[in-house]
Amino acid sequence: MSAPMTATEKILAAHAGLDHVTPGQFVNAQVDLLLANDATAGKVIAQFQHIGADRVFDPERIVLVFDHYTPSNNIASATVCRQVREFAREAGGIDVVEVGKGGIEHCVLPERGLVLPGDLIVGQDSHTCTYGGLGAFATAVGVTDTAATMALGEIWLMVPETIRFELEGQVDPWTVGKDLILHTIGRIGVDGALYKAMEFAGSAVSDLSIDSRLSLCNMGIEAGAKNAMIPPDSTTEEYLRDRAGREYDNVLSEPDARYAALHRWDVTGLRPQVAQPFLPSNVTSIDEVDPVAIDQAVVGSCTNGRLEDLAQAAEILREHTVAQGTRLIVIPGSQEVYLEATRLGYIEIFVKAGGAVSTPTCGPCFGGHMGILAEDEVAVSTTNRNFVGRMGHPRSRVYLSNAAVAAASAVAGYLCAPEEVLS
């Protein structure tokens, strides 16, 4: 009799055409969706042509998103974008998410119902693990693997061990999925889940919105994880009700599945968390962080550019203005988010507060454009990495937080909790 499997193992077994898999086993698995963006697709296409491939495995299961250096910020990025468009046109049928019609890939794909529970998704972007928030196995691979998958429709993977995190209790009202993952990374470190699947459960997780679940899984890679997953439930079903265009399976871990480790934490009252320079694991509570003066606050990215995040920021910024000498940049994660935020009045709040609102783009998150930092500048950002030089000059500093903390800090001019501004 086969041993019970985790959700990750069950998805990989199903896509490899096997009844059972075990951690450490290598499998050839069929993919449901392959994605790349303007920052990576050019290299993928070059490798695809280098290996002699003459056609993609299925154009309807490939998505190319313009989101990193777009709108194009220089001639080089414009040239790459043109190359990607030409490749997609020649292949025929590839879904190209253009500027003004989509946004950041990890925000857009779930919105469009392209990501479903039980899927196996491969992306040439490190934060592809985001889609585990909907119960999919989603992982990032390199240029060569992406090119091979584009040609063959399958990926060679080692089945990872799974670490289960059971987070129980009711968190602070200003605490969201971003804070739960920062808390987790702070406890296990940036290599605490190296090539492991991270599986999140418990009342604190099931209480999260889909926006927060996607945010939580987004930063699994910051702990070194191969993928991160949250079991699909009624919240997932409701989100997908008018989005899913095909059938899907809610794949759940079996009750007696074996885990590499099991962490049970009571996160009752957990306050917003902040990752201080220069690691996502350098985490502490907002109440214990020094009130560091900031030059810039950023609300956006594939981690925290969704409607829930903009709603948090708007609640803080309503009737407030950005501090003199501090810049606020707000970047909705997608056109859908941008439109809804406009309807709800959030965009007007940001502009009246003195914030600069950008078209959906990854932009400053990776030091691309739209808000990179100069020498010795300090930023608080809702993005996912605060490595040396990540958002600009190697002598700049980045503090990671949720949207409420970033907005409050923009008003105060220094790193602070939301209550300090609202009081």
Question: 3-class SS at 306?
Answer: coil
Per-residue pLDDT at 303 exceeds 80: yes
Residue 83 lies in a domain: yes
Is 258 in the same domain as 286?
no
Least confident of 83-97, 175-189, 349-363: 83-97
Per-residue pLDDT at 92 exceeds 90: no
Residue 79 lies in a domain: yes
pLDDT at position 368 = 87
Is 162 in the same domain as 281?
no
| pLDDT confidence band for 1 (50 / 70 / 90) | low
| pLDDT confidence band for 154 (50 / 70 / 90) | very high
Per cent of the chain over pLDDT 70 is: 100
Q: Which amino acid, residue 270? A: L
More reliable by pLDDT, 44 or 73: 44
Provide mean pLDDT across the span 354-383: 94
Is 25 in the same domain as 137?
yes
Residue 54 lies in a domain: yes
CA distance 355 to 10: 46
3-class SS shares of the chain: helix, strand, coil, % to 5: 35, 20, 45
Residue span of the structural domain in which 83 resides: 7-265
Provide mean pLDDT across the span 309-325: 97
Provide mean pLDDT across the span 12-36: 97
Is 242 in the same domain as 195?
yes
Provide mean pLDDT across the span 63-71: 91
Per-residue pLDDT at 369 exceeds 70: yes
Least confident of 226-230, 242-246, 328-332: 242-246
Can you read off the two tokens belonging to residue 250? 């809610």
Kindly write down the DSSP assignment for every residue of 188-230, as one continuous string. Answer: H-TTTTTTEEEEEESHHHHTS-HHHHHHHHHGGGGGT-SEEE-
Per-residue pLDDT at 211 exceeds 70: yes
Q: Is 389 left (phi over 0), alpha (psi -120 to 50) or beta?
A: left
Residue 393 lies in a domain: yes
Is 386 in the same domain as 239?
no
Question: 3-class SS at 301?
Answer: helix
Of 209, 237, 265, the last residue of a domain is: 265
Q: Which amino acid, residue 320? A: H
What residues have CB less than 8 Å from 1, skipping those under 6 apart? Answer: none
Q: How many domains does the chain have?
A: 2
pLDDT at position 26 = 98
| Torsion angles phi and psi, residue 90, rounded to 5 | -70, -35
Question: 3-class SS at 249?
Answer: coil
Per the CB < 8 A criterion, the answer to whether 337 and 307 are in contact is: yes
Is 159 in the same domain as 197?
yes
HSE-up of 32 (CA within 13 Å, CB side)? 23
More reliable by pLDDT, 95 or 419: 419
Is 222 in the same domain as 284?
no
Per-residue pLDDT at 218 exceeds 90: yes
Per the CB < 8 A criterion, the answer to whether 341 and 312 are in contact is: no
Residue 2 lies in a domain: no
Per the CB < 8 A criterion, the answer to whether 272 and 404 are in contact is: yes
Residue 270 lies in a domain: no
Cα→Cα distances 140→80, 152, 208, 359, 404, Å: 21, 17, 24, 25, 29
Can you read off the two tokens belonging to residue 341? 């935020």
Pick from 205, 215, 217, 203: which is nearest to 403 by CA? Answer: 215
Under DSSP, the state recorded for 96 is E
Kindly write down the DSSP assignment for every residue of 166-195, as one continuous string. Answer: EEES---TT--HHHHHHHHHHHH-TTTTTT
Of 213, 231, 265, the last residue of a domain is: 265
Is 235 in the same domain as 280?
no
* Burial 270-294, CB ≥16 within 10 A → b, else e: bbbbbbbbebbbbbbbbeebeebeb
Q: 17: domain CATH number?
A: 3.30.499.10
pLDDT at position 69 = 87
Is 137 in the same domain as 280?
no
Average pLDDT, the chain: 96
Of 232, 265, 298, the last residue of a domain is: 265
Residue 1 lies in a domain: no
Please return the burial class of 126, using the count of CB atoms within 10 Å of its CB with bins 0-12, 13-18 and 19+: middle
Provide mean pLDDT across the span 164-178: 97
Is 257 in the same domain as 334?
no
Please return the burial class of 243, using the count of CB atoms within 10 Å of its CB with bins 0-12, 13-18 and 19+: middle
pLDDT at position 327 = 98
Is 31 in the same domain as 173?
yes
pLDDT at position 255 = 93
Residue 136 lies in a domain: yes
Per cent of the chain over pLDDT 90 is: 91
Q: What is the dihedral of CA 373, 378, 383, 388, to 10 degrees?
A: 70
Is 235 in the same domain as 139?
yes
